[in-house]
Structure 1
Amino acid sequence: MNCIVLDSTHRDGINYTELREPVPGPEEVKVRIKAAALNHRDQWCREQKYPNLKDGVILGSDGAGEIVEAGNKVDKSWIGKQVLINPALHWGENQSAQQSEFRILGMPDHGTFADYCCVPVDRVHQIPAHLDSVHAAALPLAGLTAYRALVYQGQVKKGDRVLVTGFGGGVAQLAVQFALASGAAVSVSSGSGWKLKKALEMGAEAGYLYHSASWVEDAKASGSGFDLIIDSAMGTTVNELLELVRPGGTIVVYGATLGNMKEVNARSLFWKQARLQGTTMGSDLDFERMLDFVVHHRIQPTVDRIFPLSQATSAFDKMEKKEQLGKLVLQPTGG
């Protein structure tokens, strides 16, 4: 079968190659992948910026397709069903945090950038009726991360003022959609004016260019602060967010694209009685609730562009340049 593997010896860091089709284990299903979406995690693997990397592993955490084979301990009624894959493996029983065995599909386990992928049957869910395979593939990792950040950790409620930073990526665009569907008033920040325009078209009430020296003052002038801020950057920006969060408000962090925090204004943190909360991915319960939420509100992930699997390098390059709005999707031949 055709697939995209990590290859540190290749000039692109990845390689389009052929491997033997996988065979499902007793409690696994084999999915013929119709669409698979990129995440920044895949690009970080390509850049050798992720721990425990191994050449030859098929990348990709997000995928959707048709079950074509089932292990001998799996109900055969699954065969023929159209499914999407939950890429969170071995979260554990603790809803508040993942166990040490937790890992994500696509490294070190073979992932979805292939014609076929085998996963435990408890990782597959039927595709919501309002989504096709392309948009279903764009949902799992980003949708799970956004839902847990916003709903479980952020406890968003109707009427809240919410700021989503870095609008344009998969998690951020879904966080905006989820927040709007929850009845929140949403603002965004981004490095691109055209992305801010798209956010406003989606229903955001305000957008700020975070490269502007005045963006924090502009955001402060727009109201009395934010009840909830969803952020993936951190670095030195944490103190800007502490200026913007309301007393008693919450900042939820799901990434650190700008690196670790260098210095935190502790006085702002404790005087505002603000909560600085970390989050990552989500539990099986979060995933099920996220799917129910998506179905109820008929939410559709934003897809920027679809690439043939054979042109994965072009999709990775587009992500590296931060040119996309929403998800970049790969399709195997015949997907």
Structure 2
Amino acid sequence: MKAITLASQQESKLLFTDVKSRELLPGEVRVNIKAAALNHRDEWCRKGLYPNIQDGIVLGSDGAGIVAEIGAEVDADWLQKEVIINPALNWGENQQVQSASFEILGMPRNGTLAESVIIPADRLHEKPAHMTWEEAGALPLAGLTAFRALTYHGDIQAGQNLLVTGFGGGVAQFAVQFGLALGANVSTSSSRPEKLERAKVLGVSNTFNYLDDKWLSDAIEAIGGFDLIIDSAVGNSLNQLIQVVKPGGKIVFYGATRGNPTELDARKIFWNQLKIMGTTMGSDLDFKNMISLVCEKKIQPIIDQVFKFDQAKEAFDRMRDGKQTGKIVLVP
């Protein structure tokens, strides 16, 4: 089968090549991929910045397709079903945190950027009927991360003020859409005016360009303070977020693209009794509940651009350069 693999000796670090498949083990299924999508995790793998990097591994965590083959001990009803894949493996029984054996599809085991993928049958969910293949393929990892940040850690409630930073990336766009669906008063930030305009179309109440020196005072004037902030940058911008979160409010971050802060406004954190929490991916229960919300509210992921598998370099480069608004999708 054709697949996109990590290849450190290639200039692009990617190779679109033939990969030999294998027979199914008990409890496994083979899914013929109709659409897959990129996450920043895939780019980090390409850069060699992710643990357990191995050349020759098929990249990709997001995917949707049709169950083409089932192994022993798998319910025959799954055969030929249209499905979406939960890429979180071995979360464990503790809803609070993943187990020591937790891993994500696409490294170190083969992922979804291939004509087919072998996964445990318990990773399957029926494809939301209102979604196209491209939309379904774009949902899993980023959608799950956003849903857990908002609902488990953030406990967002209708009418609360929510700020999602860095609108344009996958998790941020889902956090905005889920927040709106749950009745929150949603604001967002970005450095790119065209991304902020797209957010307004979704129904976002306020948008802020974080390169503007006045954005903090503008946010306080417009909102008064946020009950919950979802962020992926951290770095020294964390102190800015501390200025605009309400006393008793929460900051939940799922990445640290700006690294660690060089200083921290600790006094404001304890005096205002703020909660700063980290999150990643989500449990099987989170995924199930996310699918329920998506189907109930008929949420449709924002698709930035669709590429063919043999255009993988262009797709990865677009994400690397931060040009996307929404998810970058690849199809066989």
Question: Is the pair's TM-score, using the shorter chain for normalization, greater than 0.5?
Answer: yes
Distance 1:260 1:63 in 2: 32
Residue 191 of structure 2 aligns with an amino acid whose one-letter code is: G
Match of 1:194 in 2: 194
Please, which moves more after superposition, 12-21 or 283-292?
12-21
> Is the 8 Å Cα contact of residues 247 and 274 (structure 1) preserved in structure 2?
yes
Q: Normalised by the size of structure 1, how large is the TM-score?
A: 0.98
Distance 2:313 2:301 in 1: 22
> Is the 8 Å Cα contact of residues 161 and 223 (structure 2) preserved in structure 1?
no
Match of 1:111 in 2: 111
Match of 1:317 in 2: 317
Percent identity between matched residues is 52
Distance 2:121 2:260 in 1: 37
Distance 1:161 1:300 in 2: 23
Distance 2:307 2:121 in 1: 28
Residue 147 of structure 2 aligns with an amino acid whose one-letter code is: Y
Match of 1:242 in 2: 242
> Is the 8 Å Cα contact of residues 27 and 73 (structure 1) preserved in structure 2?
yes
Aligned residue runs from structure 1 range 94-105, under 5 A: 94-105=94-105
Distance 1:216 1:165 in 2: 13
Please, which moves more after superposition, 9-18 or 258-267?
258-267
Q: CA deviation at 1:254?
A: 0.6
> Is the 8 Å Cα contact of residues 304 and 327 (structure 1) preserved in structure 2?
yes
> Is the 8 Å Cα contact of residues 84 and 140 (structure 2) preserved in structure 1?
yes
Distance 2:98 2:255 in 1: 16
Distance 1:292 1:261 in 2: 37
Q: CA deviation at 1:130?
A: 0.6
Q: CA deviation at 1:93?
A: 0.2
Match of 1:281 in 2: 281
Deviation string for 1:46-102 (max 9, x for gaps)?
011111101000000000000000001112221100001000000000000001110
Distance 2:312 2:35 in 1: 12
Deviation string for 1:154-206 (max 9, x for gaps)?
00001000000000001100100100111111110001000000101110011
Residue 7 of structure 1 aligns with an amino acid whose one-letter code is: A
Match of 1:262 in 2: 262
Match of 1:136 in 2: 136
- Structure 1 residue 10 corresponds to structure 2 residue 2: no
Q: CA deviation at 1:264?
A: 1.2
- SS state of the match for residue 235, structure 1? coil
- Superposed CA RMSD in Å reads 0.7
Match of 1:326 in 2: 326
Distance 1:119 1:262 in 2: 42
Q: Unpaired runs of 5+ in structure 1?
A: none
Q: Count how many residue pairs are aligned between Structure 1 and Structure 2.
A: 332
> Is the 8 Å Cα contact of residues 22 and 30 (structure 1) preserved in structure 2?
no
Distance 2:284 2:90 in 1: 9
Please, which moves more after superposition, 267-276 or 14-23?
14-23
Residue 172 of structure 2 aligns with an amino acid whose one-letter code is: A
Moved beyond 3 Å, runs of 4+ = none
- SS state of the match for residue 49, structure 2? coil
Match of 2:180 in 1: 180
Distance 1:232 1:158 in 2: 23
Distance 1:23 1:316 in 2: 30
> Is the 8 Å Cα contact of residues 32 and 68 (structure 1) preserved in structure 2?
yes
Distance 1:43 1:147 in 2: 22
Deviation string for 1:282-323 (max 9, x for gaps)?
000000000001011110110011100111110001001100
Q: Normalised by the size of structure 2, how large is the TM-score?
A: 0.99
Distance 2:33 2:22 in 1: 12
Distance 2:126 2:113 in 1: 20
Distance 1:90 1:210 in 2: 38
Distance 2:304 2:83 in 1: 22
Q: Unpaired runs of 5+ in structure 2?
A: none
